[in-house]
Structure 1
Amino acid sequence: MSDLEPLAPAEAVNHYLNHREPELSEKSVENHRYRLNSFVEWCQKHGLDNLNDLTGRDLHQFRTWRRREGISAVTLRGQLATVRVFLEFCADIDAVEPGMRERVRLPEVDPEEEARDVKLEEEHANDILNHLHRFEYASREHVIMAILWHTGIRLGSLRAFDLEDFDPDEQCLDLNHRPESETPLKNGKSAERSIAVGESYCSVIQDYIDVNRYDVTDGHGRNPLITSRQGRLSGTAIRLAVYQTTRPCEYGPCPHDRDPAECEAVQETAHASRCPSGRSPHGVRRGSITRHLRDGTPEEIVSDRMNVSGDILDQHYDRRTEREKMELRRQFIKDS
């Protein structure tokens, strides 16, 4: 066995993220932290406070615990892949035995299963937006959900908007790539575009600005559209807000027969993602794109509006059945 130096799991994660930060986008760093938090939590639950003691059996038990949490095979594979990279880093700094990463077995996922990731269903989205409009009108949560569902944009795109990017007269939002001030777009300059916004959604955004937006600047002197008391709202905070808002118990009865008083997804804010019906910002994006396609919006329009290629659109977002596609084609093809 190699000579190892004691290191706590949480401290190791911080070292790893600091190491990766120069090469990863802010969103990717947040994703890695989110995926590794469950590993740190498992270590704490099982009294593993020194990574030197980590074994292959521990990793198997962690994998089993995550699977029993009810996450999909696709999500589990992504989390375990991040743990593998993390353990490789830990081996480099003498925190775990060399080769520990190979002891993390990744579940097999076929391409079709990978493409069928969870999404926010249209009925679910309508219930959420109706509830927000009635009880939390123009709140920060309302404007987050309204923009994400209506536009189908990515979390990073929502976070990138400045106050000046909203044009109520032209009813649009201008999306700009500003990596020098920490709001890059996933596809760079090519992702820059103006996004049309419906009148009712414009009203929600304007009322949020007038009543509930914190009048603050970010660390670069810019005026964020979506704010916290400290400045631009972080991606982690946006993700948590979406998970909290999409829990069914926020606007109706729990469909999983859980007692809200005992449900950790309700009682512990950080665990909102553990609600089986809760959705991530990407799940909202997926549902929005699917809804546009089912409504008959041409694929090239969806591709431009949501900044997604046709191939990716077909593989990962188009969840219409063949009959649904046929009925939409029927509307455009008249009997000869």
Structure 2
Amino acid sequence: MSDDLEPLAPADAVDLYLDSRRDDAAAWTVTSHESRLRPFVEWCRVEDVENLNDLSGRALYQYRVWRREGNYSGADVEELAPATLESALTTLRTFLRFCAQVDAVPSDLYTKVPIPDLSRSDEVSDSKMVPERAPPIMEYVERYEYASRDHVILLLFWHTGCRTGGVRALDLGDCDLDSENPGLSFVHRPDTDTPLKNDEKSERFNRVSGEVAQVLRDYVDGPRVEQLDDHGRAPLVSTTYGRASQSTVRETVYKWTRPCFIGEGCPHDRDPEECEATAYKKATGCPSCRSPHDWRKARVTKYRNDGVPRSIVSDRLDASERVLDKHYDRASKRKRAERRWTEISQA
């Protein structure tokens, strides 16, 4: 241990780091970094590392193996996906760089964090998106891209929880925006290229708020392209070629889930001037990039965290309760236990 270092406990160091990030990072970034560093604090406790001065490159490699094997008590998996491990270790590197600034570790220790090399498929394999990420994105788009096609696509995903096919399937005639109870009708039309996933069983009417209805009206009355599709139908989400394609809808979500695209700092320590993922067609190269399916998962998790009954979420999102629990609800085991306790207490 260097005589120039000052003792600092792991948990105290994490608190200092998170407090420093609140000055220059979005709330969801701080939340995600806190989540990624929690296993590190546990590992330090397990390994009796009470002072960060004692860390070494060998210890960091041991932590990588421990983390990769899913030993953290809060983990839901036996082994971490490569992209999840890469994000965890990248955050650890950023954290240790801060620790060097406060004289808790050697200045070059952060360079010894063993970051795994990811293939292109690995980089986008982490399909979890915390619900807290959505509001900052929606607020940014509402402010700078109000009533644009992108705004409408993100709005539909977040406020209805629909699938990509549901966004494409909506016609102007499916939108009841001027009544006291505005909403959208999702209709299965396989013969004209807009099938719904579960056929007629997917058909439903979803209420939307007055605020959402107003944005949709402003889009229809303003920037929406007046264009029919190949079957003579008037799509809600249109392009100069007609109905928006699956790729157009997906790429909109990919684009806006890059932190740098809404003015946030890169949580992966990449230089935006050099990062290829800043290009529109290469957005999926960003580890923070998420798909429409991930937004749907986040919507389910948010509904359940807010206490919305499982049966209501099932009806609104066109998915069975079993499928919601198994594939969509991304809450931790602890969070699910808290929900059950709340429901039992209110019974």
> Normalising by the residue count of structure 2, what TM-score does the alignment of the two structures yield?
0.62
Post-superposition Cα deviations, 1:79-124, rounded to whole Å, max 9, x if no partner, equal xxxxxxxxxxxxxxxxxxxxxxxxxxxxxxxxxxxxxx52332221
2:270: which partner in 1? 258
1:310 aligns with 2:312: no
Question: What's 2:56 paired with?
Answer: none
What is the CA distance between 1:261 and its match in structure 2? 1.8
Look up the SS of the partner of 1:147 in the other structure. Answer: helix
CA displacement at 1:70 relative to structure 2? 5.5
**Change over 3 Å in CA distance of 1:335–1:220 after alignment to 2:** closer
Answer yes or no: is the 8 Å Cα contact 1:70–1:276 preserved in 2.
no
Identity %: 44
CA contact 2:260–2:266 (8 Å) conserved in 1:
yes
After superposition, the Cα gap between the structure-2 partners of 1:302 and 1:227, relative to the gap in structure 1 and judged at 3 Å, is: same
Superposed displacement of residue 274, structure 1: 1.0
Tell me which of 251, 265, 269 is aligned to 1:240.
251
Give the letter aligned to residue 257 of structure 1. D
Change (3 A) 1:165 1:219: same
1:328 aligned onto 2:339: yes
Aligned match of 2:183: 172
Amino acid at match of 1:132: V
C-alpha contact (below 8 Å) 2:124/2:284 kept by paired residues: no
The answer to whether residue 240 in structure 2 is matched with residue 215 in structure 1 is: no
Q: After superposition, where does 1:113-262 map in structure 2 within 5 Å? A: 118-168=127-177, 169=179, 170-251=181-262, 252-262=264-274
The answer to whether the Cα contact below 8 Å between 2:314 and 2:324 also exists between their aligned partners in 1 is: yes
**8 Å contact from structure 1 (residues 120, 288) kept in 2:** no
Letter in 1 for 2:313: V
**Contact 2:149–2:219 (Cα < 8 Å) also in 1:** yes
Partner of 2:298: 287
Q: CA RMSD in A?
A: 2.0
Please say if residues 165 and 194 of structure 2, whose CA atoms lie closer than 8 Å, have aligned partners that are also in contact.
yes
Report if aligned partners of 1:218, 1:224 keep a CA contact under 8 Å in 2.
yes
| Cα offset, 1:203, TM superposition | 1.5
Q: Structure 1 CA distance, aligned partners of 2:217 and 2:243?
A: 17
**C-alpha distance in structure 1 between counterparts of 2:189 and 2:331, whole Å:** 35
1:328 Cα deviation after fit? 3.0
What is the deviation of 1:330?
Answer: 4.1
Q: Report if the CA contact (8 A) 2:301-2:328 is conserved.
A: yes
Which residue of the partner structure matches residue 281 of structure 2? 270
The unaligned stretches of length 5 or more in structure 1 are 1-66, 76-116
1:135-155 CA-to-partner distances (Å, cap 9, x unmatched) read 111111111111101111100
| Displacement of 1:323 | 3.6
Shift of 1:276: 0.6
> Which whole-Å CA distance do the structure 2 matches of 1:222 and 1:253 have between them?
42
AA paired with 1:307? Answer: D
CA distance in 2, matches of 1:73, 1:315: 23
Give 1:69's aligned amino acid.
S
Q: TM-score, with normalisation over the residues of structure 1?
A: 0.64
Work out the number of aligned pairs and report it: 228
How far is the alpha carbon of 1:72 from its aligned partner? 4.1
User: Given that residues 257 and 290 in structure 2 are in contact (C-alpha distance below 8 angstroms), is that contact kept between their aligned partners in structure 1?
Assistant: yes
> Once the two structures are superposed, what CA deviation does each residue of 1:208-231 show, in whole Å capped at 9, x if it has no partner?
111110011101000000011111
TM superposition shift of 1:195: 0.7
Is 314-323 or 204-213 further displaced after alignment? 314-323
Query: In the alignment, is the contact (CA less than 8 A) between 2:168 and 2:237 conserved in 1?
Result: yes
Distance 1:335 1:233 in 2: 45
Contact 2:237 2:244 in 1 (8 A): yes
Tell me the amino acid that sits aligned with residue 216 of structure 1.
Q
- Given that 2:168 and 2:243 are in contact with CA atoms closer than 8 Å, whether structure 1 keeps it comes out as yes
Structure 1: distance between partners of 2:123 and 2:325: 21
Query: Residue in 1 aligned with 2:51?
Result: none
Distance (Å, rounded) in 1 between the aligned partners of 2:257 and 2:346: 43
- Rate the CA distance shift 1:246–1:334 in 2: closer, same or farther, 3 A: closer
Query: In the TM superposition, what is the alpha-carbon distance from 1:322 to its structure 2 partner?
Result: 3.8
The structure number with the bigger radius of gyration is 2
Matched-pair contact (CA < 8 Å) for 1:159–1:232? yes
How far apart are 1:320 and its partner, in Å?
A: 2.4
Q: Secondary structure at the match of 1:195?
A: strand
**Deviation of 1:311 (Å):** 1.6
- Equivalent residue, structure 2, for 1:36: none
Inter-partner Cα distance in structure 2 for 1:290 and 1:151: 13
Q: Secondary structure at the match of 2:239?
A: coil
